[in-house]
Structures are given as structure tokens and as C-alpha cells.
Structure 1
């Protein structure tokens, strides 16, 4: 058994590898679709799979003049609301139009017949992804700058009015805290092994102690450092990735 603490996360998850046989694409069909739907596309096309731990298989698409990223639903039978790459495409399209740091989206394919599941294509953004969130190798001031860039990006996201940027129908509006408490209470009860008095008191306390609701805003749902691409030479967020839980 491997000790998880001994894994070099930066080395393990950075870069690309050969495509997993379970997630192989029809390269010829993809090439033809790209030619029809991505402005400026010109093959030949080379496809590799990113090593990072996305639940939606993610691929690097390289041509002689450009680099793209493809996100797809995994093939097979899935839960109805899981792996919603079409929702990801919707939100990054709206945010890109506002100048928020996301990869430029190019096209969404809802035809499962092209590669076996729906997918979308966006620009590949060059930069750094920090897989070890302790940021080894950076000085304390450098770490502080990275963490502040992360929080500044989150604050900027929460500054957008979803209605104003075309996301009025993106998710449920209002009652956010109550919905979160209700969802996590159900999750806890479903996995409860034995009664814990402190948890019972907390579950009773929270519904009557919710903060006042504010205006509805977009929630990323998983805004970790390893879901961000930073500039190669400074603490600047170039792109926020993985909007599946937004």
C-alpha cells in the first residue's frame, strides 16, 4: 500500500499521458467536427489525456497552430444530473464575456454520436497548476500572493449578478443556506453509523440560526488552487477550471 502523504502530487497530476483505453475518442470524427464548429481550426490533430483528477475526462488537443482542451461526459450510464459539461459550457461562456478568468469556450457538442458522449472545446491556457496546496518551493510572501489571488478571484466571481450576465436560469435562486444545511443533514443521516450527540445538537441548531439571505450569486462549488491556472511568473489567476459543481 502506498502512503498518500509520500506521493509527489505535482509530479503525479501535472501534464498529459496516452489516452486511457476506456476513454478513447474517434479522432477522425472529432477532427471533422472541429473543422465544422471551431473557428480557425486546422489539423492534423494529436490527442492526449490530462493526468489531473477531473471526474469528467479531459483531453489536450494539439494542432500545428493551436492548442485546445476538450471536456466530456464519461461514457456509459450516469446519474441524470452528474457530469454536466453542458452546464460548464454555459457558465464559462457567460463569464468569459465579462472578462472573468476562464478558458475561452469554442463550441459545445450535444450529439453523443461524435465521440460517444457530449463534450465541449475551449482554449488551452498556459500556466501553473499547484497540485500540492501547501505550495512547497515558494517563499512565504509568494504563497501569500497566490492565496490572495485565489480569494480575490472568488470575490470577483461573487460580484456578478447572474441575471445581468445571462445566467438567470442557471440554478436555484434564494434560500441558499437552508438548502445547504438540508442537503448536508440528509447526507450525514444517510451515512450515520452511530448517534453523536454533538451532531444531533448541531443539526437541531442550524435551521433556526441561518444568516440573513443576500442577493443571489454564482457559486463555483470547488474553488481549490488545483482548479486554477496561474501565470507562469506571477500570482495572477489566468483561468478557473472545473465548474461541474457550480
Structure 2
């Protein structure tokens, strides 16, 4: 897409003028190419006159929730984490003047890597003999993130430091309760699991940066089949690193799973280590006690059920178009996540790690 063509959300002459004045790494005019993914943010690959590539990112058009699509948060994170072992794109520039193009935006360096969304992506980009290497890199990068002292890198005010899981339980239970009527669907396990999770709430250690959506879809796999960048930091905050770990691990099958349909997840193919093996690697690298890991796995499954329940409710209330949407499958996914939460809590009880 050439710069002479209009692009939704970007006033190209104004943006390029801002880049010319504020981003010495780039020399307009630019060639713009839309990138897929990115949580609906308007994300483009831009290439300058000398062939240097970068990525520009701004929120989607339309009315947004107050804390949604927070470009300043993403910018703060990649800027602060740049000097650390955590791989992030280079921070080129942030524009907080909404008069330029209607919203805040930032520009980061282009990284030669690809997100993995499906098993087809993995088949195409990661040979079977390289998948263990990729998974180890994936978990090591998360361990490196959780080793960063947020105060030491200027991120001490990124979020509240206490009771991350407790606050999440409150938020997503409110969502579940508000969704019952429009969804015309409730499940008693959502309530009983929430009670158990509150009663068994672990004491949180020192707050660390939690990505919030750490997966192969939000990391870039490089040509050497390692993680070369972590992206999409917009919901990152401070909290319990074990909750972040459990979310990441839930994407990997394990022999202890029962009746789990993995579909076309990027980690479903042969060659990947099991969830238990990756947890052991994280524990060895960080020294953290994972004896109550199943608590966090159960919490994440419960939270995912609440999120999907809310989405289902919005469809049922007519707030979103149902064209092409399998509502029955969406409802089944709520029940499946609660099944998995129950399984994790069952393992926790059986291990004797619950109070």
C-alpha cells in the first residue's frame, strides 16, 4: 500500500511530518503495509526511503473503553525493557498529540520474526526437531521477564503491587454475574470455584511485570526458532508472576490432561515439551516454588471461562453480530474451561498443597 492511498486511522502526511521531526531513525516518505493480528489495533509495517523498516501502531477507530488499547503503556514497557534480557522491539518514538492523527501512536523497530497462531503456522515455520528449542526459549524469556525488578527499570507505577489474583477474581466474578441474564446461562461451578480460589488465595511475593497474554501469538519466533521479541503489552501490569506462568503453560498439553480437545493450537504438534517439563524448567531457572502451580492453572481456566461467558453474553444480547459465529461452540468452551479449572483444583487437592 503506497503512501498516496488513504489509510483508515492515519493522516499519512501529518504522521510522516511528525516522524520527520521526531524519529531520526526513519526518513519519509514511507511505504505502508497492513499487518494482521494485534488485538484489532491499527498496525502497519512502514519502510522508509532507505529501506529501513519499522512498525507503527495506534488504537482501532471508534469509542473505546477507558483502559483499552493503551499505546502509552505499550510504549513504556518496550522502552523500559529494551536494556534488559527480555527481547522487545526497539523503541523509536511515541506521539501523545492526538491532533496528529486522532489517537496516540508509537513506532518501534521491525523484528524479523513471526507470531504463531495455529498449528498450520507451526508446521510452516518450525520443524519438529526445533520445537523443543522454541518452547525452551519461550519459557526462558518469561523467566527473564519475571526476574526484572519493576522499580529498577522505572515501571514501579505500572499497576498495583498487591493481591493481583484477588483483584482479578473480583473483576471477573463481577463480569460473570453481569453476564448471566443476557447470556441466559449460568453454571454453579463458576461460583463454587470462585469461593475455593478466594479461600485458598496464596500470599503474593514481590510484584513482577506480568504480560497478561503471553503466548506464541504474542511473541515473534525468529529464523533460528527462538523468541526474538515479545509484543502486545497493552494489558501488562504488576502482579503475581505465577499467574502469568500458569497462563503461558496452559497452552501446552500435558499427560495429566483429561478429555482435552486442543484443536489447531500452535503447540498441539509433536516435538513440544509437556506443560510439566516446561514448569520444571521455569522452576530451575527462577528458583520459585511451584508446589501450588495447579492453583494458578485453575484460576486462569476459571478466568478464561468468565471472559468467554462475557463474550457469549454480548452476542446473545445482540451487541455483536452473530454472523459466522458458532454460539453453541462458544457456550461449550465456557463449560470446557470450567472442566479444566476443576481438574486443576482436583490435582491441587490430591497433592495436599491446598490448605
Q: 1:93 aligns with which of 52, 72, 79?
A: 79
User: Where does residue 154 of structure 1 map in the other structure?
Assistant: 142
The answer to whether 1:49 aligns with 2:31 is no
Structure-2 change in CA distance of 1:184 and 1:58 (3 Å): same
Structure number with higher relative contact order (C-alpha < 8 Å, ≥ 6 residues apart): 1
The answer to whether 1:229 aligns with 2:220 is yes
The answer to whether 1:143 aligns with 2:131 is yes
Structure 2 length as normaliser, TM-score?
Answer: 0.60
Q: Which structure is higher in helix share?
A: 2
Q: 1:80 aligns with which of 61, 66, 75?
A: 66
Measure the CA separation in 2 of the matches of 1:119 and 1:106. Answer: 11
RMSD: 2.3
Q: 2:176 aligns with which of 183, 188, 191?
A: 188
- 1:22 Cα offset (Å): 6.9
Counterpart secondary structure, 1:40 = coil
| CA deviation string 1:20-43 (max 9, x = no partner) | 967242221111111111123212
Structure-2 change in CA distance of 1:20 and 1:183 (3 Å): farther
Q: Is the 8 A contact 2:9 2:61 kept in 1?
A: no
Structure 1 spans left out of the alignment, 5+ residues? 1-15
- 1:212 Cα offset (Å): 1.9
User: Where does residue 106 of structure 1 map in the other structure?
Assistant: 92
Measure the CA separation in 1 of the matches of 2:230 and 2:63. Answer: 28
Matches within 5 A, 1:27-38: 27-38=12-23
User: Where does residue 25 of structure 1 map in the other structure?
Assistant: 10
Structure 1 length as normaliser, TM-score?
Answer: 0.85
Structure 2 spans left out of the alignment, 5+ residues? 237-355
Measure the CA separation in 2 of the matches of 1:149 and 1:17. Answer: 37
Q: 2:203 aligns with which of 201, 212, 229?
A: 212
Counterpart secondary structure, 1:207 = helix
- 1:160 Cα offset (Å): 0.6
- 1:200 Cα offset (Å): 2.5
Counterpart secondary structure, 1:130 = coil
Aligned residue pairs, count: 230
